[in-house]
Amino acid sequence: MSTSLSYREKTLYASLAAEILVYGPYFFLHQQNSVNKVAGMIVSIIVLQMILQLLIAAFTRNHVTDERDRLIELRGYRAGYLAIASLMVIGLGMLWFHATIGNHRLDNRMMGLHFLSVFFGMLIIADITKTATQILAYRKAL
Amino acid sequence: MPAIRNQIRELRAQREITQQELADQVGVTRQTVIAIEQDKYSPSLETAFKVAIVLGVPLEQCFQYDPQGKR
């Protein structure tokens, strides 16, 4: 029995590919992150997502989404929320640790950029978790 | 055994309706019809009624509830 991908599933694969393509090099190749790079990443992901979604819409005949799609979407958002909430707790714990026990100074510019990078990373991990959970739900039939 | 089982595949075969045709008439994706037929997804009451109407049978002939089944 054939279980070809639905329109919604194709868009999820495209989202995941765009996220890995754009965010991967940012975190693994650049050691010095900056506000401009973060802004660049956000613009890149939006443009890439738009191009991919337009291509999928153009080459897919059936654009129907139904109750199962909405249920899977909610599951993805729940997983994404759990991921970001957990990472926030860990991040705040580490911040507290460095501020009280460690000897890091939290008032310099580099530290600000470091936090920007860390929180941006948390958002990306949560977003990838959301998309991956949705893909997994589709592959398991729910 | 799942809590909610169905006879959609058999009823569909008797009426020579494809999964895509059923999906189009009910207003869901073909993947959802596949998931329902495989007992991996229990549809909403509204979708269940629509499936029964399209197949021309009462709801209970299309879907059965087993209280001992796995939810």
Lowest-confidence segment of A20-29, A48-57, B14-23 by average pLDDT: A20-29
A68 with B27: Cβ contact below 8 A: no
B44 with A67: Cβ contact below 8 A: yes
Low-confidence ranges of chain B (pLDDT < 50): none
Instruction: Tell me the pairing of strands B4-6 and B63-65.
Output: antiparallel
Lowest-confidence segment of A10-19, A76-85, B48-57, B61-70 by average pLDDT: B61-70
Mean pLDDT of chain A: 84
Pull the structure tokens for residue A94: 């580490």
Report yes or no: A140 at the B interface, CB cutoff 8 Å: yes
Choose among A8, A62, A68: nearest Cβ to B35: A68
Q: Best of B25, B28, B31 to disrupt the A interface by mutation (most A CBs within 10 Å)?
A: B31
Q: What is the pLDDT of residues A111-130, one digit of tens each?
A: 777 777 788 889 889 999 99
